[in-house]
Structures are given as structure tokens and as C-alpha cells.
Amino acid sequence: MVLVAFAKLPVFGTSLKATDILEMAHAFVALAPLRFLWAMKQAGLPQGLQLSDIPLGDNCMIVPWVDQNDVLGHPNTRAFVSHAGLHSVYEAAFHGVPLAAVPFHFESLDQALKLAHRGAAVISRHAPAFRAGDSQLAYTRQAVVELMREVLHNSSYTAAAEALSGTMQERAYGATSLSSSKEHGATQAAVQEGIFATSLSSSKEHWCYSGYCAGGHTVPHH
């Protein structure tokens, strides 16, 4: 399973074009039976694009919200498609999940580069952060398919992410006796680096995507 989650509103809708979203969706369908869990709301889409316009297959599910710590900590999660925000980078690293980075701005590009330097991320060259000098640059389904195949089929990314995870978890658990949970550990590891990672919380959507991570049946995505 692959988690797909980008920046909070309104950055998401202003950074990716409608064609980007549609081409990503086509690529995800082409990668079946690999499953995609995509966190996305109507309010975050580019102007003129509706959730109902997005062509999703049975291997794709859209939810309005996910707890990234929860999903990234699930053993079936193989990769994370993200804008490489600071919290997302720390959470992916802590849980040992390689990143397919789609940085929106230079700040997130810098964070993605740091993770890529450790071998735990591959950066999309079609991402918005690279578009300042090329307004025609956009995603194609083939480019997205190749990005996903690189991070999923090249085992070095997973190996590097797991090695980084081991270091972070050892540091986090060794620094506290308050909890042995990954929730607390991810936060503690981030605190040691000067960053607070988001904590786990419950929601009405939790039952839905937790079952999906475990390989349950696809539920309606709209």
C-alpha cells in the first residue's frame, strides 16, 4: 500500500495543476494491484476540478483525512508520496517508509534532498519546486509510474529508510521511559531534532483507512 498526502490547504490546490492530479490518478490505476490511499478534500483541489472527475480504480481510495503516523506505522505501507513537509519527512523516516517526494517549494525541496542524501527518498523532477523556469513542466502518467517503480522496486530506498528508522527509534526510546509506542517515539525523535511531529488521534475515518491498509475491501472514494 502507498500513502499519498500533500500539504494542507490552500497550498495543495495552488501548487498542483488539475492535469497533475488527473495524470497521477491514471498512473496509480496503471500500477494495480498496488493499493493507494490518497488524502484529499474537494476544497484542496485546483479550481474547476471535482473529486468526481478523478479517475480512480478499485486499487485507489480517497479519504478526506488520514493520520500519517498511524498509516506510516502500518506494516503494509511500502511508500509515501508527499510534498516533503518537515513533519512528513520526520514521520516517514521514523517509520522506515521511503519517500516519493513531490516538493512544492524550495523549503520542502531542501528537506527532500536531505532525505535523498540518506538514500531514503527519490525526488520527482516534475514537481512544482522545479517549475519556476518552466511553466510548461507538468506530470504525465508515465513519469509518475516511473517514479513509483523506482522507489518501490529499488530495494535500496527501503533499506536506507529502515536503517534511518532504526537510528531514530533507538534514540527516541532510549531517551524516554514514558511510552514504548511508536506514536510517542516519533514525537520524541522529532523533539530531539527540535521539531514536534504530529501525534496520533482518532477520527471517524480511522476504521475506514485502517481496514484498507490491512488489505480490506475498497470503500467508496467520494
Q: For 110-121, write each residue's pLDDT tens digit.
A: 999 999 999 999
pLDDT band at 137 (very low <50, low <70, confident <90, very high): confident
Residue 192 has pLDDT above 60, yes or no: no
pLDDT at 21 over 80: yes
Q: Which domains does the chain have, with CATH numbers?
A: 2-213 (3.40.50.2000)
- How much is the pLDDT for 171? 83
Cis, peptide link before residue 103, omega less than 30° from 0: no
Specify the amino acid at residue 36.
F
pLDDT in tens, 138-173: 889 999 999 999 999 999 999 999 999 999 988 887
Asked if 161 contacts 136 with a C-beta cutoff of 8 angstroms, the reply is no
Instruction: Give the DSSP H or E segment for 19.
Output: helix 18-30
pTM value is 0.79
Task: List CB contacts of 146: < 8 A, sequence separation 6 or more.
Answer: none
